[in-house]
Chains A and B, each alone.
Chain A
C-alpha cells in the first residue's frame, strides 16, 4: 500500500484480513461437514461434469444388475420345473420298461397305465407353470414364448404359445435370450405329450410291442429335456459372468467418483486447524496495532 496509512485505512485493512480468514475458515468447515471437495458445478466444472456422468453410468449398471436378477428369476423357475419333468420322464421310462416286459399281467398293466396318466397330468401342469418375476405383479406362463397369458399346452398336448425367446439387456448393448418356448422344450427331438399318450394307450390295450416302441421316443424326450437344462445352465452362466463384470465396473466407478469428489479428511482437518490459527493471529495483530495507537 502507499507510504501513508490513514486511520480508516488501518481499520479497513485489518477488517478485510480478518473477514477473509473467517471466510476461509467457513469454507474449510463446509468441506469437512460434507466430506466433499467439490460441492457444486462452479467449484470445478469439468470435474463436476465427470462426476455427474459417472453417477449416471452407475445408475445404468444398477439397472443391468436388476435385469440380470429378473432373468435369473425366470431361469431358476424354468430349471426347477424341468428337473421335475426329467424325473417324471425317467419314471415313465421305468414304467414303459415294466410294461414292455413279458409276463406282466393285465391288472399290473392297468396300474402302470394309471400311473402314466398321473405323470401326463403332472408334466402338463409343469409345462403350464407360471412365474411372477419382477415386481410380482401379474403372472405369466413360463413356456409360452411371447404369448405369456396363454397356457403353453392344451389338455391334448397342442402347443398354444409362440417360438419366441424374450430377451433382457444384461450389459450395455448385450441383449441375451432368456425365455424358452414350450415347443422347443417339450416337442423338440421327441414330443413328450404324444409319446406319453402313446405309452398310456399301448399299456391300456396290452400292446406289448407298442409299449416297447415308446422307449425310443422316451429316450429322445429325456435327452431333449436334458439338453434344455444344459442351455439353462449356460444362460445362467452368462448372467453370472456379466454380473461379475458389472460389479467390477461398479467398483472402478466408485473409486473414480471418490477420487474426484471426496475430500482428503486428514489434509482438510489440518487445513482447518491452520485456518483457525491464521484467523487468531490476524485478530491479535489487529488488536495490537490499535492498542499501540491508543498511546497517542
Chain B
C-alpha cells in the first residue's frame, strides 16, 4: 500500500469522526426543536482493494447523514390529529349550544314556560284580578325574550361557521402552497448522497398542521416529492403545484359554503379536521333552530286557538294572545326563472301542519307541491297558471311572472314556522283583554278559559301528539348534552391515540441527550485514535526519510 493510501485511511477516519461529532452536536443543539428528527452518520467501509491477492480495506466512507423518521407513524399522527381537531371544535360548539339552551336552573326556556302556565293557574284563581292579569303578560314577555335570545344565538353560530371556513381555507391554501414550494426545494437539493433533512422535517411539520384542518392522504413520489390529496382523490398538492380550496356559497342552503378544488365539490369527502367539525356543527345548529322555531310556532298556534274562543273583561271574543302565525314564501336564490311570490296567506289556521313545503317546477308549466318535512308529495303534476291560487293544508300561495315565468327546476320555499322564535310577540297589550272567561254573561268571575289555557301545559301535541311543550324542550336539552358528551368522548379517545402515536414518533426520532452524550464520547475516542494513527504514520515515514 502506498503512503497516500495509508494517509487516506487516517484522513477518512478523522473525517468520519469529525462528521460524527458534528452530527451528534447538531442533534444535541436541536434537542428541543419541534419537528426535528435526529440524524446519524451513515458509515460504510471504504473500497476494498487487492494487495497481492489479499483484500484490504481503504478506510471508512461517509455515505451520508440519515434522518431517523418513520413515515408510517407520520400517517398515524396526522390522522389522529385530524380527529382531535375535529372533535375539539365540535365539543366547543356543542358546549356553547348546551349552555344557551339551559343557562341556569331558573332562567331556561323550560322554567319560563312553566312559570307562564302557572300564571294562567293564578289567573284562574282570580280572573278579575289586575295583578294576576299583569303577571300573565309579563311572564309571556319573559318567555318571548328567551325564544328571541335563542334564535339570535343560532343565527350567530350559523353565520360564524362561514367565517371559520374562510379562515381555514386561507390556512389550507397557504400550507398547501408552502408544501409545493418545499417539494421544489427538496428536488433541487436532492442528489448526491445528501438528503435535505431540514427541509423534510419542515415539510412534515406543515403536513401535520394541514391535517389539523382537513384530513389528507400523502403519497411519496419520486425523488422525495410528495403529493397531498383530500379524501375523494382531489389533489391539494401535486409535485411543485398547489391547488387552492375555493369557497362558494350554497344559495339554496343558508348560503353555507361549499368547498371546491379546481371546480370539484369536495365538501362531502372531508372526513376529519377542523373543517369537518364545522360542517357537522352547522347542520346541528340548523336542526336545533328549526326545532326551537317549531316549539314557538306550535305554542302560538295552540294558545291562540283556545284564547280566541274565550272572552276578555270587555266582553270581546276572537282575540289572539300572541301575534298570529304568518306564512313566508320565497323563491330560492338559485332559481333560473323570474317568477316571484305575489300572494302568501293562511286561510285556515286550524288546518296548519307547521311542516315546511316546496313548490317545485318539473317543467315550465307543471309543478309539484311537496311537504319537505315529511318528505311526501302533497299535490303532483299541477298545471301552472300565473296568479292563480295554490292551496294546501290551510295555506294559499300565488306566483306572478314578474321577471319571467318559472322554468324547470325552480323551487319556492314555504314555511310557517321558520323564524318563529324570533318573531313571536304578544298581541294583547291591555291586561283586560286577556280572555279568561268562556261566556260573555259570566264575566268577570268566569275562569274556564284560563283553566283551559293553563291545561295546555299537559297537552301532547308535538312529535305527533307524543310530547308536551316541556317534554319537547327537555328532549332538546338532552340532545345537546349527548352531542357534547359524544364529541368529548371521541375527542378524548382521539387525543389518547394522538399522544401515543406522538410518543412512538418521539421515541423513534427524538433526541436522547444521554444517548448523544455517550455517542460523543465514542466519536471523541475515534477521532483521538485516528489522530494517534496519523501520528504513528508520521513517525514511521520520518524513519523512512531519515534513513
Do most interface residues of chain B lie in helix, strand or loop, or is the interface mixed?
A: helix
Interfacial residues of chain B within 430-484, with CB under 8 A of chain A in the complex: 437, 439, 441-448, 451, 454-455, 457-458, 470-471, 474-475, 477-482, 484
Q: Interface majority SS on A: helix, strand, loop or mixed?
A: mixed
Given contacts A9-B503, A42-B481, 6 further A-B contacts (CB under 8 A): A6-B512, A8-B31, A164-B442, A168-B125, A179-B445, A296-B514
Are A168 and B124 interface neighbours, CB within 8 A?
yes
Q: Please, how many angstroms separate the alpha-carbon atoms of A13 and B502 in the complex?
A: 10
The answer to whether the Cβ of B538 comes within 8 Å of any Cβ in the partner chain is: no
Q: Is the CB of B484 within 8 A of A169?
A: no
| Residue B121 lies at the interface, judged by CB distance under 8 Å to chain A | yes
A133 touches B514 (CB 8 A): no
Tell me whether B510 and A42 are in contact (CB under 8 A): no
Known contacts A8-B32, A138-B130; is-contact A16 B457 (Cβ 8 Å): no
Which residues of chain B come closer than 8 Å to A147, judged between CB atoms? 442-445
Closest to B485 in A: A42
Shortest C-beta distance, A63 to chain B (Å), equals 5
Partner of A6, one of B111, B121, B510: B510
Residues in A with CB closer than 8 Å to B110 are 52, 56
Q: Could you tell me if A134 and B126 are in contact, using CB atoms closer than 8 angstroms?
A: yes
**Known A-B contacts A55-B105, A56-B110; A49 and B478 likewise in contact (beta carbons under 8 Å):** yes
Q: Is the CB of A137 within 8 A of B129?
A: yes
Q: Tell me, yes or no, whether B220 is within 8 Å of chain A by CB.
A: no
Complex CA–CA separation, A9 to B501 (angstroms) = 12
Among B32, B128, B514, B515, which residue has its beta carbon within 8 angstroms of that of A138?
B128
Question: Are B128 and A149 closer than 8 Å at their CB atoms?
Answer: yes
Q: A41 with B503: in contact, given A5-B512, A166-B447 (CB under 8 Å)?
A: no
Distance A16 CA – B502 CA, assembled complex (angstroms): 12
B499 interface residue per 8 A CB criterion: yes
CB contact between B478 and one of A48, A137, A138 (< 8 Å): that residue: A48
A135 vs chain B, min Cβ distance (A): 4
CB-based contact B499/A144 at 8 Å: no
Residue on B with the closest CB to A137?
A: B131
Q: Shortest distance in angstroms between B479's beta carbon and chain A's nearest beta carbon?
A: 8
B125 engages A134 (CB within 8 Å): yes
A41's contact among B98, B124, B512, B517, by CB below 8 Å, is which? B98
The interface on chain A, measured as residues whose beta carbon lies within 8 A of the other chain's beta carbons, has a size of 57
Q: Is A266 an interface residue (CB 8 A)?
A: no
Q: Is B15 an interface residue (CB 8 A)?
A: no
- A24, B125: Cα distance in complex, Å: 52
Interchain Cβ contacts under 8 Å between A and B, 16 examples: A4-B515, A6-B510, A7-B513, A9-B507, A9-B510, A42-B95, A42-B481, A56-B470, A134-B131, A140-B126, A145-B442, A147-B445, A162-B442, A166-B446, A179-B445, A293-B514
A residues less than 8 Å from B458 (CB atoms): 172-173
Name A residues whose Cβ lies closer than 8 Å to a Cβ of B: 1-9, 12-13, 16, 40-46, 48-49, 52-53, 55-56, 59-60, 63, 66-67, 70-71, 133-138, 140, 144-149, 162, 164, 166-169, 172-173, 175, 179, 293, 296
Tally chain B residues at the interface, Cβ within 8 Å: 69
The reply to whether B480 and A2 form a contact with Cβ atoms under 8 Å apart is: no
A7 and B511 form a contact (CB under 8 A):
yes
Chain A residue at minimal CB-CB distance from B113: A56
B482 neighbours in A (Cβ, 8 Å): 41, 45
Closest to B455 in A: A169
In the complex, which residues of chain B have a beta carbon less than 8 angstroms from the beta carbon of A296? 513-514, 517
Query: Shortest distance in angstroms between A288's beta carbon and chain B's nearest beta carbon?
Result: 16
Q: Are A167 and B451 in contact (CB under 8 A)?
A: yes
| Cβ–Cβ < 8 Å partners of A70 in chain B | 122, 125-126
* Chain A contacts for B499, CB-based, 8 A: 16
User: In this assembly, does B160 line the interface, its C-beta being within 8 Å of a C-beta of chain A?
Assistant: no
Identify the interface centre among A8, A53, A179: most chain B CB within 10 Å of its CB: A8
Q: In the complex, what distance in Å separates the CA atom of A164 from the CA atom of B127?
A: 14
Interchain CA distance A148-B31 in the complex, whole Å? 90
Q: With A40-B99, A41-B481 in contact, do A67 and B121 touch (Cβ < 8 Å)?
A: yes
With the chains together, A173 CA to B517 CA distance in Å? 84
Q: Is the pair B445, A135 in contact by a Cβ cutoff of 8 Å?
A: no
Q: Would you call B132 an interface residue if the criterion is a C-beta within 8 Å of the partner chain's C-beta atoms?
A: yes
- Chain B residue with the shortest CB-CB distance to A59: B114
A128 to chain B, nearest CB (A): 15
* Residue among A13, A45, A172, A179 with most chain B CB within 10 A: A45
Identify which of A2, A52, A66 contacts B503 (C-beta below 8 A).
Answer: A2
B508 contacts chain A at the CB level, 8 A cutoff: yes
Please indicate the chain A residues that have their CB under 8 angstroms from the CB of B470 in the complex.
53, 56
Q: A182 to nearest B CB, angstroms?
A: 13
Is B488 engaged at the interface, CB distance under 8 Å to the other chain? yes
**Closest B residue, CB atoms, query A4:** B507
The answer to the question of B504 belonging to the interface, with a C-beta cut-off of 8 Å to chain A, is: yes
**Among A3, A52, A67, which residue has the most Cβ atoms of chain B within 10 A?**
A52
Report B-chain residues with C-beta under 8 Å of the C-beta of A55: 105, 111
Which chain B residues border A167 with CB–CB below 8 Å?
447-448, 451
User: Contacts of B392 on A, CB cut-off 8 Å?
Assistant: none
Report how far A144 CA is from B442 CA in the complex, Å. Answer: 10
* Contacting pair A6 B132 (CB below 8 A): no
Q: Is the CB of B284 closer than 8 A to any CB of chain A?
A: no
Enumerate B296-316 residues with CB–CB distance to A below 8 Å: none
A56 with B513: CB separation less than 8 A: no
Q: Chain B 114-144 against A: per-residue CB contact (8 Å), 1 yes, 0 no? A: 1100100110111011111000000000000
Q: What residues on A are CB-neighbors of B457 within 8 Å?
A: 60
A12 → chain B, closest Cβ, in Å? 7
> Which positions 197-237 of chain B face chain A at CB distance < 8 Å?
none
Q: Do B480 and A41 have beta carbons less than 8 Å apart? A: yes
Say how far A9's CB is from chain B's closest CB, in angstroms.
4
A59 to B515: give the CA distance in the assembly, Å.
69
